[in-house]
C-alpha cells in the first residue's frame, strides 16, 4: 500500500510542473517582464509542491506507526490519495486567476481542496489509531507519545483550513498564504516524539 501511495504522490507532484509555461514569443517584448507576469503560476506551483511533498512526508510518518492494513484503512487511505490527485487542478485554477476577476473563487476551490485533505488525514489516522480496533492496526499502543502527538497536531488542521476557505472569499492572496503556512506547520514533526525513522 505504501508503494502504491508513493507512486500516486509522485505523479501528483510531477503534474504540477505542467502549469508552468514558457511565455510565447511576442514581437519585440523582452522575456524578463513576461516571465515576471507569470508570478501567480510560481506561487501556486511552490505552495502545491510544498503541500504534496509534506503530505507524502506525513503519510510516511503515519505508516511507520502502522503494522497492518484492513479494508477500512485502504478506503481511508484512498481519500488521502484522492485529495493528492486533485491538487494539480486547483493549482492551475489559482495560477490562471490570481490577480484577475475570479481569483477569490479560485482561492476558495484551492483552500477547500486542502480542507478535504486535512479531513481525510484525520479520518485515516483516527481510524488507524482507534483504541477500540481489534486487531490493532498500530505497531504500538494508541496512547504512546508519537500517536498522541500526531493526533494533537492533526486536530486543528481542518479548522485552520476552513479559516483559509472563509478568508479566500475576501482575499485570495491571504488564503494562499495561510495554506502555505499550514503546509510548513505540518512539515514539522509533531511534538511528542514522532520524528524520522
Q: What is the pLDDT of residues 47-58, one digit of tens each?
A: 889 889 999 999
97 found inside a domain: yes
Return d(Cα 70, Cα 74) in angstroms, integer.
6
pLDDT the model gives residue 196:
40
191: phi > 0 → left, psi -120 to 50 → alpha, else beta; which? beta
Inter-residue contact 47 to 180 (CB < 8 Å): yes
59 is in which domain, residue-wise?
2-17+40-187
Total domains, the chain: 1
**120-149 average pLDDT score:** 88
pLDDT the model gives residue 192:
63
133 found inside a domain: yes
196 found inside a domain: no
Most confident of 27-31, 33-37, 111-115: 111-115
Helices 71-86 and 88-97: crossing angle in degrees, nearest 10, is 20
Task: Summarize pLDDT for 159-194 with one digit per residue, the tens.
Answer: 999 999 999 999 999 999 999 899 888 888 887 654
28 found inside a domain: no
Return d(Cα 95, Cα 120) in angstroms, integer.
25
Model pTM score: 0.85
pLDDT above 90 (res 125)? yes
Amino acid at each position: 500500500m505504501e508503494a502504491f501511495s508513493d507512486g500516486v504522490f509522485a505523479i501528483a507532484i510531477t503534474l504540477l510542473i505542467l502549469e508552468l509555461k514558457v511565455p510565447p514569443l511576442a514581437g519585440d517584448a523582452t522575456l524578463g517582464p513576461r516571465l515576471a507576469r507569470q508570478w501567480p503560476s510560481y506561487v501556486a506551483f511552490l505552495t502545491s509542491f510544498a503541500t504534496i511533498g509534506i503530505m507524502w512526508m506525513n503519510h510516511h510518518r503515519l505508516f511507520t506507526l502502522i503494522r497492518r492494513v484492513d479494508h477500512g484503512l485502504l478506503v481511508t487511505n484512498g481519500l488521502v490519495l484522492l485529495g493528492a490527485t486533485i491538487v494539480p487542478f486547483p493549482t492551475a485554477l489559482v495560477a490562471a486567476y490570481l490577480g484577475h476577476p475570479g481569483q477569490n473563487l479560485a482561492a476558495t476551490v484551492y483552500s477547500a481542496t486542502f480542507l478535504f485533505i486535512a479531513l481525510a488525514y484525520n479520518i485515516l489516522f483516527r481510524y488507524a489509531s482507534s483504541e477500540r480496533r481489534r486487531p490493532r492496526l498500530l505497531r504500538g499502543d494508541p496512547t504512546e507519545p508519537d500517536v498522541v502527538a500526531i493526533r494533537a497536531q492533526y486536530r486543528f488542521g481542518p479548522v485552520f483550513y476552513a479559516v483559509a476557505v472563509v478568508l479566500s472569499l475576501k482575499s485570495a492572496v491571504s488564503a494562499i498564504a495561510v495554506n502555505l503556512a499550514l503546509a510548513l506547520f505540518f512539515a514539522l514533526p509533531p511534538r511528542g516524539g514522532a520524528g524520522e525513522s
